[in-house]
Amino acid sequence: MWYAIISEDVPGSLAKRTQARAAHLARLEQLKNAGRLLLAGPHPTIDAEDPGPGGFTGSLVVAEFQSLAAAQTWADEDPYGAAGVYAHVTVKPFRKVLP
């Protein structure tokens, strides 16, 4: 089943994100290579591709896992969490309808 992992950043998270980004992306690449990643990306603080020094307010990952518990475990092990980027992470089942 698909699961949405919705993460909200702590204020001023850009430096922490930059430091942990390579490890975070490596885990996403593993999901992608296994055919289990639907989408992933950050939420810019402003309405622009490049938010500049404002950074991001959070992230969204939609990926396939065997269970909600497995999705939660994966989210709990995110390098951004360990680096203090995230203030809060929500994991929910997701049902893809379109496209």
Q: Tens digits of per-residue pLDDT, 44-64?
A: 999 999 999 999 999 999 999
Of 46-50, 55-59, 68-72, 80-84, least confident by mean pLDDT is 46-50
How many other C-beta atoms lie within 10 A of the C-beta of residue 96?
Answer: 11
Nearest to 58 by CA among 91, 86, 22, 77: 86
Q: Tens digits of per-residue pLDDT, 3-34?
A: 999 999 999 999 999 999 999 999 999 999 99
Residue entry with tokens 């307010």: 57
Residue type (1 letter), 92 = K
3-state per-residue secondary structure call for the chain? CEEEEEEEECCCCHHHHHHHHHHHHHHHHHHHHCCCEEEEEEEECCCCCCCHHHCEEEEEEEEECCCHHHHHHHHHCCHHHHCCCEEEEEEEEECCCCC
